[in-house]
Structure 1
Amino acid sequence: MNRRFLFLLALLATALGSVAQTFTLRGRVTDGEGNPVEFASVTCPSQGRATVTSLQGQYELKLLSADSVVVKFSMLGYRTKTRVLHRPK
């Protein structure tokens, strides 16, 4: 009985240690003149995450940490921009 308990405890500790780390990406999308771009799409295709900017061009996106994360910014009438974040935390 004691061995089973210790085994389950070790298994639980391993499972908790392997939980993925996340971070929150926050920012503001602006045009060439520094004006906020509202309702622009901010996506991380590899993680299936997306959001839309506020009226002030601000966004917040919760992502999984990785060696690199690709984020795309798009809006009708603007060129799509892609940024690679290296080791984001």
Structure 2
Amino acid sequence: RAAGVMVEPLVLGAGGMLMYAAWVLTELKKIAEASGTLVIADEVMTGWGRTGTMFACEQASVSPDILCTSKGLTGGVIPLAATLATDAIFQAHYSE
């Protein structure tokens, strides 16, 4: 069983700048939830308003379990990245 699936929401930047519809991300999240698989969204390129919403996942009404962001976080002034997670992931990280 897969522990997680990592996606670039709506735009496959590393895959050749290919676009896909928001419903694909919605269906992927449903499949992942049904199998207990985490969804990790790489919003490095798509986050911070670059796709019309703060994060591309919002266009599919998807809340990923883990969201990775950087670049647009500081507007390019300084290098900075952040990894956001659900409370369940956060608590598991700090559990004994």
Shared fold (TM-score greater than 0.5)? Answer: no
Decide which structure has greater helix share.
Answer: 2
TM-score, structure 2 normalization:
0.27
User: Of the two, which has the highest radius of gyration?
Assistant: 1
